[in-house]
Structure 1
Amino acid sequence: MLLGAGLVVVLLAAVAVVGLRVLADRYERTITQEQLLDPSARTDRTDLDGPLNYLLVGSDRRPGDTGPEQRTDTILIVHVPAGLREGYLVSVPRDLLVSIPAAAGWPGGEDKINTAYEYGGGGQSGAQLLSTTLTRLTGIRFDGAALVDFAGLRSVIDLLDGVEMCVRTEVRSIHTNRVFQPGCQRMDGAAALDYVRQRYDLPGGDYDRQTHQQQLLGAMLERAGETRVRTNPVQMHQLIKAVGESLTVDTNGVPVEDLLLALRGLSTDGLRGVQVPSYPQTIDQVSYVLLDNGGEGLFDAVRGTRMPQWAGAHPRWVTQL
């Protein structure tokens, strides 16, 4: 789904095939395409029959930046079952303790999973090391991947005239001192991104932040379907350009046009947020997250065809977006 591509899917869903091809070509020329997946983490198929698994990595820095603090705090496995009409956004905890393979300047060893991107050098090489780490942990191989500049999504949200976010408990921003009161409210790009960055003083800590990030992506898709942008060629061009500039993608050799056509049946009604069964643990005065009972079969379900059944049997870890 590549989430960013999923946003464009919603926008183009009602467009005739000829128009879709023209717009898909424009979108493909806007986005950056790189080999984000390590060969060991990549599937060897290019069909879109499903089920499909994509890796989505979110960062406040543009892919390719060489400055410090290259860690990523948003790691999502996007699972799309056969039929391609529903999707599961599986949030991998940023502090999950994993074994990270060796890379240039990194001898290999255990650390938080959000450091894998940094140890790989960020950008393309960082994403490859992260994908290898995830595949070794879960056994999942990916059909594609995307690096999303979450800061860049601010302009996308503003072009959508904001998104509707439902705040469940009071959230105070440690960055701006903004206070988000409970209730559903329209947020512009700055407010929405500020909100989904917060994790301190939340009842569920980082688990709540994962849910808020999932909700934001769902809200963007929902808002895109509500707006009149599909009938406004200027707005559509601006939005496609903004989405494209926020993404670096690896489609595993699948043309963007084919991906958009295959996934245009997705809607926000069919999206579920999933948290990995896990629990916090302090080790040597450092806070980590450990898998609960090996993830309670979640990764087996994502690798196979039983994700809907797993979600039904584990409602504690599943959220309707």
Structure 2
Amino acid sequence: MIEEQLRETFERHETLAPPSAPLRAAIDRAVVRRRRNRLTRRLAGAAAALVAVASLPFALNTTAALPAIENTMLPGAAPPVDRPLTVAVLGVDDDGGRSYRADTVLVVHVPAGSHTAYLVSLPRDLLVEIPDRGRARLGETFYFGSQRKGQSPDLAAGAELTARTVTATTGMPIDATVTVRFSGLREVTDALGGVQICLDRPVPARRGDHIYPAGCQRLDGRSMLDLLRQRRLPHGVYDRDANGRAFVRGLLGSSVGDPVRLARVVKAAADGISVAGAGVTTPQLLRVATEIDAVTAVDIGSDFRGVTIDKVEYERLDPARSAPVFAAIRDNRLVDWVAANPKAVR
């Protein structure tokens, strides 16, 4: 009864309603203006971030040399990356600077035209064939590439060989690498006022009785480094890989898309991060970083598929679960693949 009366009332007064077209146009203009203002704020902050980078002794080690950063090469002026961008983030630890191995190998993929970064974690003990060398664990690839007899390790060469091995193993092209030394994580984390990390299960501290509880928590640099170096875990390397992945996801979530915080990371990372790549410029990388709105992890099915060869234990992937993800990244179809497989992301 009430519904009929309301309907009749609206029908009698319908001619008094203003035309909808002007209102819709005004809404559209407001949306465009809001997006433009947001982009302006981002690019202004990104410009400040890049100037900060230019004033630092920032180690731009090169596989195919990246150009030096200049104050005039602002991310806003950099040509947009109109193709997929895939970056390998390598977390490396050392034994006093004599040798380095990749404890964390994380592929960050940004599809063409997307503002979402998709993370794919590769186990450091993954069985791989190193180009021109042979069978090894993925994390060892960095060591083999960086070692120089009688000289200090060449981190750029280690990153380059790791990137080539990832491509040979998965088919995913790597446009650039970002090598993060664990020794620099403390400064980077503290520069952000701590980084939020979400743990699947509790992790005991390396020393003392403290336990990092399951769930999300913000840790300072000292605690984060302690957690990431913990090896005595229920599932060994699997848990350590998961902790490294959780940290990188938290770090990206705390810095990308926010030029001011990104500038803090760059300042703190002067001695702890090195960048290398080919086919994409540093301003373009920074521009993409400032435009990312979301960070999503993609599951490729790393589920304890170990194998022992010549008394050495390796990790394997389930090709039925991992191959479709690798192919989607290679062919720039990941957005469609994720839409069709929502349970594979988190």
Decide: shared fold, TM above 0.5.
Answer: yes
Q: 2:180 aligns with which of 148, 160, 175?
A: 148
* Residue number in structure 2 paired with 1:272: 296
* Residue number in structure 1 paired with 2:120: 90
What are the equivalent positions in structure 2 for 1:229-240 lying under 5 Å apart? 230=260, 239-240=265-266
Judged with a 3 Å threshold, the aligned counterparts in structure 2 of structure 1 residues 82 and 282 are, in CA distance, closer, same or farther, namely: same
Structure 1, unaligned runs of 5 or more: 1-11, 39-45, 103-107
* Residue number in structure 2 paired with 1:213: 244
**Number of paired residues?**
285
Contact 1:51 1:82 in 2 (8 A): yes
Judged with a 3 Å threshold, the aligned counterparts in structure 2 of structure 1 residues 226 and 165 are, in CA distance, closer, same or farther, namely: farther
Question: Percent of aligned pairs with the same residue?
Answer: 31
- Separation in 1, partners of 2:323, 2:85: 21
Amino acid aligned to 2:134: G
Deviates more, 1:130-139 or 1:178-187: 178-187
Judged with a 3 Å threshold, the aligned counterparts in structure 2 of structure 1 residues 157 and 261 are, in CA distance, closer, same or farther, namely: same
- Separation in 2, partners of 1:220, 1:13: 22
- Separation in 2, partners of 1:91, 1:226: 21
Amino acid aligned to 1:211: A
Instruction: Tell me the CA shift for residue 74 of structure 1.
Output: 0.9
Amino acid aligned to 1:119: F
**Is 1:48 the counterpart of 2:84 in the alignment?**
no
**Is 1:263 the counterpart of 2:289 in the alignment?**
yes
Contact 2:107 2:119 in 1 (8 A): yes
- Separation in 2, partners of 1:291, 1:302: 17
Instruction: Tell me the CA shift for residue 76 of structure 1.
Output: 1.4
SS in 1 for 2:183: coil
Q: Following superposition, which runs of at least 4 residues in structure 1 exceed 6 angstroms of deviation?
A: none
Amino acid aligned to 1:218: R
Instruction: Tell me the CA shift for residue 226 of structure 1.
Output: 11
Deviation string 1:233-285 (CA, Å, 9 cap, x unpaired) is: xx986543113332111243644333323432212xx2122343342223344
What are the equivalent positions in structure 2 for 1:244-263 lying under 5 Å apart? 244-252=270-278, 254-263=280-289
- Separation in 2, partners of 1:300, 1:21: 35
Task: Provide the aligned C-alpha RMSD in A.
Answer: 3.3
Deviation string 1:147-187 (CA, Å, 9 cap, x unpaired) is: 11133021121122222333332212346664212343331
* Residue number in structure 2 paired with 1:172: 204
* Residue number in structure 2 paired with 1:43: none
Q: 1:282 aligns with which of 308, 324, 331?
A: 308
Amino acid aligned to 2:167: T
Judged with a 3 Å threshold, the aligned counterparts in structure 2 of structure 1 residues 140 and 274 are, in CA distance, closer, same or farther, namely: same
Contact 1:37 1:145 in 2 (8 A): no
- Separation in 1, partners of 2:296, 2:157: 30
Contact 2:46 2:290 in 1 (8 A): no
Q: 1:24 aligns with which of 46, 50, 54?
A: 50
* Residue number in structure 1 paired with 2:111: 81
Deviates more, 1:162-171 or 1:307-316: 307-316
* Residue number in structure 1 paired with 2:195: 163
Amino acid aligned to 2:248: L
Amino acid aligned to 1:292: D
Instruction: Tell me the CA shift for residue 225 of structure 1.
Output: 7.9
* Residue number in structure 2 paired with 1:299: 326
* Residue number in structure 1 paired with 2:221: 189
Amino acid aligned to 2:168: R
Contact 2:156 2:276 in 1 (8 A): no
* Residue number in structure 1 paired with 2:141: 116
- Separation in 2, partners of 1:213, 1:13: 31
Amino acid aligned to 1:196: L
Judged with a 3 Å threshold, the aligned counterparts in structure 2 of structure 1 residues 84 and 250 are, in CA distance, closer, same or farther, namely: farther
Contact 2:257 2:291 in 1 (8 A): no
* Residue number in structure 1 paired with 2:68: none
Judged with a 3 Å threshold, the aligned counterparts in structure 2 of structure 1 residues 308 and 109 are, in CA distance, closer, same or farther, namely: same
SS in 1 for 2:270: helix
- Separation in 1, partners of 2:262, 2:125: 38
Deviation string 1:88-111 (CA, Å, 9 cap, x unpaired) is: 111111111111123xxxxx2211
- Separation in 2, partners of 1:37, 1:178: 45
Higher relative contact order (CA 8 A, sep 6+): 1
Amino acid aligned to 2:199: V
Q: TM-score, normalised on structure 1?
A: 0.75
* Residue number in structure 1 paired with 2:30: none
Instruction: Tell me the CA shift for residue 18 of structure 1.
Output: 5.3
Question: Between Structure 1 and Structure 2, whose CA radius of gyration is higher?
Answer: 2
- Separation in 2, partners of 1:236, 1:135: 28
